[in-house]
Amino acid sequence: MEYRIVKDTMGEIKVPANAYWGAQTERSRTNFNIGPHASMPLEIIHAFAYIKKAAALANNQLGVLETEKKDLISTVCNEILAGKLDNQFPLVIWQTGSGTHTNMNVNEVISNRIHVLQGNKLGEGQLFVHPNDDVNKSQSSNDTFPTAMHISAYKMVVETTVPGIEALRDTLKIKSNDFKAIVKTGRTHFMDATPLTLGQEFSGYAQQLTNSIRAIKNALEVVRELALGGTAVGTGLNTPKGYDVLVAQKIAEITGLPFITAPNKFESLAAHDAMVELSGAMKRCAVSLMKIGNDIRMLNSGPRCGIGEIIIPTNEPGSSIMPGKVNPTQSEALTMVCAQIIGNDVAVSIGGSNGQFELNAFKPVIIANVLQSARLLGDACASFNANCVIGIEPNLPIIKEHLENSLMLVTALNTHIGYENAAKIVKKAYAENITLRKAALELNLVTNEEFDKWVKPEDMIGSMD
């Protein structure tokens, strides 16, 4: 590989000849060879492109950056956003906790790309746009990286996470309506309980996701607040008056998302409570999905020796040795994703708790976990919805058989013959393997006509609304 020599305040270093990055990026690439496949998420890089473009526009409008430089910076930022320079960002998550290396990686790439666009060769001549003085004008890594965290997380959640959850929630609502008249046995403690409808059961799942969506959207209200303009410690040193408000407006215009400047930049740099809240909301959804995914695979269990009250789509063979076996693979994938998201939240919580004085220095690991959770959550919901829930059908004969065999229908007799007498019926029916009706008649606790009148599963399910 051919190299060129570049310099920074620490001296000379070799950089790959065709790389747009410079000395600070290369030092990080060399010094942090930790998990080489754990690259800084491209969502962060693209968020930085929004930041650098917005900063150039704001600085130009406020009279501290020349129009030609503003236009050149904007041009390269557009290239980054189009994915044309994705291979120029080689750094890993495990770097400085402020994300300074990634901020400088972006600054250097923009500066050197401009140099080439002006007809120059890398490593030759003076840079027209300086990575620190121009691309990073009115900025610090300490306010740009948290801003990139918020931009990337907000975009991911509104574009991938929430739509995926909403699609699954909407399908569950449809199933709830479709199944509203199907009376089945309920279960508590994995044991038979009083009846409900399959629709009521599915309505609970839909409500869980409705609540999760609300929690996530509430968390986004703080995530839309941007730290940019706080610079090094939150004071806004080296920024022109009005820059923080203006640059947030520019980011909102470029992204089409409702970003605003944070009301307190000291909090934005020193703490990442917004990320902790968002991660917690996604964990809440993962907990809900763990329950939903497990319920669906257990309701489908069998096909002959399990519960078998619903039928899920048969997507692929389930065994390399057992012919004809089909497994609830979408539930398995979903619940594994849930486990990962719950684990990610632990890392985010630890990271969020480690702000010291004017800076939290766990920024890269926080946002890497938040973005992974957001992507996994949206994708897993979309997959579970399309490949499982849409195709769920009730297994009516099995539902009827289970309902008729349930001993807990005796609960309907409580108000007529008392709890203790009803318990006697259940114990006799279970011990002698006979029906509730037969046990009740043999004990002379009810008549045949009374049993027909009082033990009606369809009357035991409450409101159908």
SS3 318: coil
Mean pLDDT within 361-389: 98
pLDDT computed for residue 78 by the predictor? 98
Which of 30-39, 230-239, 277-286 shows the lowest per-residue confidence on average (mean pLDDT)? Answer: 30-39
pLDDT computed for residue 97 by the predictor? 98
395 is in an annotated binding site: no
> What token pair was written down for 370?
């938040």
Q: How confident is the model at residue 320 (pLDDT cuts 50, 70, 90)?
A: very high
76 is in an annotated binding site: no
pLDDT computed for residue 27 by the predictor? 97
140 is in an annotated binding site: yes
Tens digits of residue pLDDT in 127-145: 999 999 999 999 999 999 9
Q: Is the pLDDT of residue 463 over 80?
A: no
173 is in an annotated binding site: no
Q: Is the pLDDT of residue 211 over 70?
A: yes
In angstroms, the CA 316 to CA 314 distance is 6
363-387 and 329-352 helices cross at what angle (nearest 10)? 160
pLDDT computed for residue 257 by the predictor? 98
Question: In the predicted model, what is the mean pLDDT of the chain?
Answer: 97
In angstroms, the CA 137 to CA 65 distance is 8
Mean pLDDT within 313-321: 95
Helices (H), 179-237: 198-223
pLDDT computed for residue 464 by the predictor? 61
Token pair 């609502």: residue: 173
Mean pLDDT within 364-391: 98
37 is in an annotated binding site: no
Fill in the amino acid letter for 64.
Answer: V
Catalytic machinery residues: 189, 319
Q: How confident is the model at residue 465 (pLDDT cuts 50, 70, 90)?
A: low
195 is in an annotated binding site: no
Which residues have C-beta within 8 Å of that of residue 219, sequence separation ≥ 6? 274, 277, 278, 280, 281
Tens digits of residue pLDDT in 406-424: 999 999 999 999 999 999 9
Q: Is the pLDDT of residue 10 over 70?
A: yes
Q: Is the pLDDT of residue 73 over 90?
A: yes
Reading phi first (left if > 0) and then psi (alpha if -120 to 50, else beta), residue 128 is in alpha
Tens digits of residue pLDDT in 245-303: 999 999 999 999 999 999 999 999 999 999 999 999 999 999 999 999 999 999 999 99
> What token pair was written down for 433?
């393997």
pLDDT computed for residue 1 by the predictor? 85
Q: How confident is the model at residue 35 (pLDDT cuts 50, 70, 90)?
A: confident
pLDDT computed for residue 36 by the predictor? 74
> For the chain, how long is the longest CA-to-CA vector?
105
Is 153 within 8 Å of 161 (Cβ atoms)?
A: no
185 is in an annotated binding site: no
